[in-house]
Amino acid sequence: MAKLSEYSAKRRFEATPEPKPVVAEGGGGPLLFVVQQHSARRLHYDFRLLCDGVLKSWAVPKGPSLDPADKRMAVHVEDHPFDYGSFEGVIPPGQYGSGEVIVWDCGTYSPDEHGTWFHDRAEAERQVREGIEKGKLSLQLRGEKLKGSFALVRTKDAKQWLLIKHRDRFVSKDDITARDRSVLSGVSVAEMKSVPAHRIPAAQLAPSAGDGTPKAMPATIAPMLAEIGDAAFRREGWMWEPKLDGYRVMAFIDKEGVRLRSRRGLDLTAAFPALVNELSGQGVDGMVLDGEIVAFDANGVPSFNALQNRVQLKTPAELTAADRAVPAVFFCFDMPYFAGVDLRDVPYRDRRRYLTQALLPSPLVQLVHADEDGIALQEAALTSGFEGVVGKRLDSRYQSGRRSPSWLKVKPVHSAEFVIGGYTRGKGSREALGAILVGYWEDGELRFASHVGSGFDARSLKLLQSRLEPLKRSSCPFAEKPELPNPTTWVEPELVAEVQFQQWTEDAHLRAPVFLRLREDIDPAQVRRNANSSSPRRRGPKDVAVKSAGSVGSRLGGDGGRTGHDIEEVLARLDGSKNAFELTVGTHRIRLTHLDRVYWPAAPGLQSPPQTKRDLLRYLAQVSPLMLPHLADRPLTMIRMPDGIGGQRFFQKHWTQERPAFVESVTVYSGHKDEEHEYLLCNNLPTLLWLAQSGTLEFHVWHSRARVGPDAVSKSTDYATSLESLEASVLNYPDYVVFDIDPYIYSGKEAPGAEPELNTVAFDKGREIAFHLRELLLGMSLEPIVKTSGKTGLHVFVPIRRDLDFDAVRQVSELVSRHLMRLYPKDITMDWSVPKRTGKIFMDHNMNVRGKTLNVAYSPRGEPGAPVSMPLTWDELADAHPLDFRMGGAITRLAHTGDRWRDALKRKQDLVRILK
């Protein structure tokens, strides 16, 4: 702890979110460097190097430079704990270094004065200690923004050092600090006040060996393969890359040199001397890159034929000429191994980041572009002459040698590899070869897929004939002999053809197949048919109809029956391109219009794309199994924004217009006007979607239900005759006590008189009060549950038996809130005066009044970024931020929590004893 004594002395860890002073023990793999941008009294950059379990740190006022002429001052400051490396967030006012912090860059580093030592941590740390002691340290950085060699040089003042860029290919006059966003969250330091701080463990910032033991570089690694997908999409949890039309190659780099291996293990090293030369400049002992070698034609368009032609070349003169005329570029898209760390069990999201850091790009060695929007990337890829796109799940592991649905390749038409098992005679100039017969291996047998008679030219016909002639055999290699009208010659199944086709037919044949090329890089023994929606299985007597394990119904708690089927049909219709159509849901019909109308404009500062009415309908359909139980039988108040969140918005409690027959309602007496009003009930999926079509973006409900039950002391359903009948009815008995935690802590950006906007400091304080409230309630033998409001507040509920009316429940909420306020008077207020609330958490017990509403669980909010009101466990609240839960990702991230939250609501608790 002595190493971090100065760090500890400057901070109060009960008040600051910064990591506590813990020295990292053990660990292995390359050393970590981090640069954090810190908006304290002045904006500056903190340059940190991991050594001996702590981060050696320098404050660089102007930030790093890639220009060797710039000698940037770097003030040596106290060591920081290893966990500080991934710290992003807001240090509160009054604390040391108060202000916003982001991780501006991070990656691996090594001393480089006598070679690099990424693979040997002990030696690297020894040289770092020695360099710091001498006052001169030369090091190579491999980050997303900072790459190449730098020097740290101490001046006459022991605290004053200089950070200087060495001359190498990464020198630039460009201002690197203009790239001002976090490499982890993508936010700028100015935006950190209002966006969630996602803190991953520091050990995930760069490749690391948790047990400290380096792993030997594998001699071979079979590449992971993609299944065929039907269409590109934009969905949280996926990243997309252009699909390259080249040779899939694994590049092995170590002190012995560079070796290029094709997908089937062929050695291609000698065919690409220029690539080998540039890959040798990666400067690391132990690196495996997965990528595609692509050759370009005279117009700069990827050309597989050009690549095949140059692979046939042998002599140095031919290869040198080819490197000039047909340059081949190695595009890297994965890194299964780096400097003693086997990364195959690491999620793709981290492998992608490590590759971005570790790769030292050059003209012939490039990082493949990646994007979250598969649809836009596919359009750009096709325009640029590429084949299509490949989608990858961010949580997918590297499944060496396997074809996985975690990777999807999408082309405008399908293509796949097939084994050639024979050919037929043709007519005229094609008499010798009319069509090839192709198939795939299944259960040890070669299954016939199609005869392919188009796509040939004179050159490809000549090549095929020369390759097939030596492979002739007398018997049919296919498990079932195909019926063909022309004479057939059978061949040994040793050649692989890539074939383009429209789709698979019901009898498992190819529709409209076209020969593209021979694939020398594919092992014929490994050719299988992709399992995907465009490739139906060969059906047999044992086949049964089964519901997909990944169906919406099963994912979101549906019963696997009609409801799940309806949701799937709704999503399928919404995936189309029509801007208006009639939607069928079960036996009901809803007219949908203006589906491409933008309800939530793009919010670049929040990294949020635009969200349309179509996106809202898709979200509500997916989340309906979780959301509808919270809406059921509760009078509904709609917040409608027909033109989106930037247009007019209005509350609508009562519905006087015509409505579809499937929309249920309840009539309730109004004491204010001595009249009845009709409230809508959202009790089914068609109603939910109809409301969204009508411009309802927020769904607010009563705290009581228009349904009797065993937990309800009242059995009356007369809500409309008089005030007395309403007060005696079940609608006057709520299901829970509400504690509305509403921060009145301003960000400073609000317009005069406006409510506080979402900001991290306010939410953090509200969360702290929520945990204090929970502690108090647990002491009363009451178990509360919690959800985000979707804005900056929190809603805490205590589920109760329906034997207390609203007046009694309001009294309980007030008693508990006032007691909590006495315990924390500096933080909590119950004052209705807005100026007196400012800077505190306002607790509004008057939310426990009949007719008051709160946004229902999973309801979207009409705020930038499309946040939703999300149920949480208390453990999840500890690290949560409201913008963690947005329309695009709420389901996939926390759908399971909704079920637990709903179960918690069913655990009715006794409040009568408290009032007594």
Per-residue model confidence as pLDDT tens digits over 528-556: 886 443 433 332 222 221 222 222 222 22
Could you give the C-alpha distances from 103 to 106, 188, 197, 550, in angstroms and in order?
7, 10, 11, 36
- Residue 905 has what pLDDT? 78
Task: Tell me if the domain spanning 736-849+871-916 has CATH number 1.20.900.10.
Answer: no
Domains 225-410 and 736-849+871-916 alike in fold: no
Per the CB < 8 A criterion, the answer to whether 556 and 622 are in contact is yes
Tokens matching residue 863: 């705020």
Q: How far is CA 549 from CA 15, 65, 534, 555, 560, in A?
A: 46, 52, 18, 8, 10
Task: Report the C-alpha gap between 15 and 910 in whole angstroms.
Answer: 36
Domain residue spans in the chain? 2-204, 225-410, 414-524, 707-733, 736-849+871-916
Q: How far is CA 672 from CA 596, 677, 722, 723, in A?
A: 41, 11, 12, 10
Give the CATH number of domain 225-410: 3.30.470.30
Q: How does strand 328-338 pair with strand 365-367?
A: parallel
DSSP string, 661-722: TT-EEEEEEETTTTEEEEEEE--SHHHHHHHHHTTEEEEEE-SS-S---TTBS------SS-
Residue ranges in the chain whose pLDDT is less than 70: 1, 298-299, 502, 506, 530-565, 671-674, 889-900, 913-916
Q: Yes or no: say if 261 and 250 are a contact pair by the CB < 8 Å rule.
A: yes
243 is catalytic: yes
Q: If phi over 0 gives left and psi between -120 and 50 gives alpha, with beta otherwise, what is residue 610? A: beta
Query: Catalytic residue among 243, 411, 613, 840, which?
Result: 243
pTM of the model: 0.65
Residue with tokens 């590429």: 386
3 state SS for 198-267: CCCCHHHCCCCECCCCCCCCCCCCCCCEEEECCCCCECCCEEEEEECCCEEEEEEEECCEEEEEECCCCE
Alpha helices in 233-361 (DSSP H): 273-279, 304-311, 316-325, 348-358
The CATH number of the structural domain formed by 414-524 is: 2.40.50.140
What 3 state SS string does 183-202 have? CCCCCEHHHHHCCCCCCCCH
Residue 824 CB burial class (10 angstroms; 0-12, 13-18, ≥19): middle
pLDDT in tens, 653-698: 887 778 898 999 999 988 666 677 889 999 999 999 999 999 999 9
Nearest Cα neighbor of 862 from 747, 745, 695, 636 is: 695
pLDDT score at 916: 61
Beta bridge partners of 787: 795, 871
**Contact (Cβ atoms closer than 8 angstroms) between residue 263 and residue 256:** no
- 8 A C-beta contact, residue 35 and residue 106: yes
Q: What angle do the packed helices 562-574 and 685-693 form, to 10 degrees?
A: 20
